[in-house]
Structure 1
Amino acid sequence: MANKSAKIEIGISTFLETTADPATGEVISHAERLRHAVEEIVLADQVGLDVYGIGEHHRADYAGSSPAVVLAAAAAMTKRIRLTSAVTVLSSDDPVRVYQAFSTLDGLSNGRAEIMAGRGSFIESFPLFGYSLEDYDELFEEKLDLLLAIRAAEKVTWSGRHRAPIHDLPVYPRSVQEPLPVWMASGGNPQSAIRAGVLGLPIAFAIIGGMPESFAPLVKLYKEAAARAGHDPEKLEIATHSHGFVADTSEQAADLFFPPTQAQMNVIGRERGWGQPYSRATFDAARSLRGALYVGDPEYVAEKILLLRKNLGITRFFLHVNVGTMPHREVLRAIELLGTRVAPIVRQELARS
């Protein structure tokens, strides 16, 4: 499990974006973006970040259809950083293969693998793998049940509606960690928070809009459900995932991060019928102290993380870099600043308090 001696873990999440560069129109290849990801993970390990997560997607503007494979490529080149999906779309995958992929990663990394399981906010994987969106909720519940059964015992007996039954069969390889960490991911659904609490699983909230403090009632629901189910809520871990970027100055961070963010948010907005295009005014409001964007110089981003810790009691923070395609050197610089400047400020402040 995560290092309990640390007051808070800080890391990176990414979807391995391959969108058109808003300045040049160039589109990076999937292959190049995958190699960049390995460089990012190695750097994140070197500068002392705690975790790196890759989200699973199956569309042209993201290269991360197989997070475990990318993370495994970096496992042998890193020593300490934890390696996780962010998220695994469990509803459209096979829990046996998910466990095997991440237990393999766990072996290669000597006990640093994690699974973050979710329904997925993008739905391309459902028709791709032959699942109906009418079964969206039931698929997740059933497959999470199987995944937890697999990690709990070497031999599994299980039956459900959406997958062939398993009768006293073993699943290998077994993970180094016992149990292999499984987080639940939520975009703010109360039932997801309650389910995670009942199961005693750590939870990760995706906070990409509004005010992060508005998630406090969900944290309360989560802890109350855990307590009712007999789990110690003080031992549970809570993560958040938020878009953001760090540069030497706040003005530089905003100017670098806005164009690719605007381009990608407008693409998603058109797909989902959001109506108004994403504007600089919307962006600037979101990077205010109580907003959901963590964009600024190291001191400002650290201040926002500390406020998040105060309001939600988080034990882990993911900075999602980047939302759209950005120059690789700028992404590496942001990772360096997060590890060498932001994280030390946050940790020192928490140690003092």
Structure 2
Amino acid sequence: MTGPSQPPRSVSSLLTEVDHVLRQGLAAGATVHPTGFAALDATLTGGFRSGELVLVGGAAGNGKTTLGFQFARNAVAAGGTALVFSYEHEAHTLLERLISMEAMESLQSLEGAGAVDTFGISNAADVHSVRAAFEAGSQGAPLDALLAGLTGGREAHAALTGYGERLHLHESSGATTTLDEIARTVREVTVAAGAAPLVLVDYLQKIPVPGTTEDERTTAAVEGLKDLALEVGAPIVAISAADKDALASGHRMRTHDLRGTSSLAYEADVVLIVSDKVDVVSREHLVYDLGNIQRFRDWTVVTVEKNRHGRAHVELEFAKDFEHGRFHTRGNEVKERLIDERVFTT
């Protein structure tokens, strides 16, 4: 994928352009897309920026897709537009997650209702109950009536109806959803919405690109996504798989453990590594208090390993709520010592 070549611009022309934009009362800098996770947004000085490539890596089952999909959901819930390329899940599977997520969000918004505790254990419709309701059918009743029978289902339907036109799900194929197809779709959504969407690609190594080795293919994919982000002014969040060697017990995953090539580290503007807290916390926190083992299993650590526009080397933790296809958005900086505390630096 190649974009049109741009001629050089003088600083004088840029000053004139910025002055013109400011006189219209508009922002002259990048467009910032909040992630919806307060601690992460504070670290990223607001969120993801237009033109940025964001990598999310981690071992299988640690919540990479859940986190990325929640970024997309939070973007549209805040009034923006998002586009999800899913090489792993059908659109209906993502819809089930969305309904459960919104059911939980609706209960959390009810202050004093007593339906939710610190870890989100509630009677809100979980992913399994939504799936079961869909598979059982409704004897001809409409969707809103079916969801009304699930706790939080009515509110979830209203939320999805409200932002549904701004959240686009692309059932991607490792055979046909090439970089050119991704670029064409992103441009179409940008034109229709009047602004570039937040883009999620799940996942990077599934994009069909030419190359005889995985390093060559990964390099082509990551460079193509970065070029597209700059061209359309969209933040692109790409999930990245990890090398098998990085999955060994006792090893803490880092940027260099992502499958492919060093170009992943160089092209990305932000790198987030997702880990189960129990796997990365230092051993002394486990042997002296065995209760910590179970408590730490309920938390995920998101390491901001690279961040061009803010602080890096930051360890954040968020409580899991995988039953509802989400994380709790209120997080903290990790207080415990973690293993292998060295992080990737530029």
Normalized against structure 2, the TM-score is what?
A: 0.36
Q: Which structure ranks higher in relative contact order (CA pairs < 8 Å, sequence separation ≥ 6)?
A: 2
Normalized against structure 1, the TM-score is what?
A: 0.35
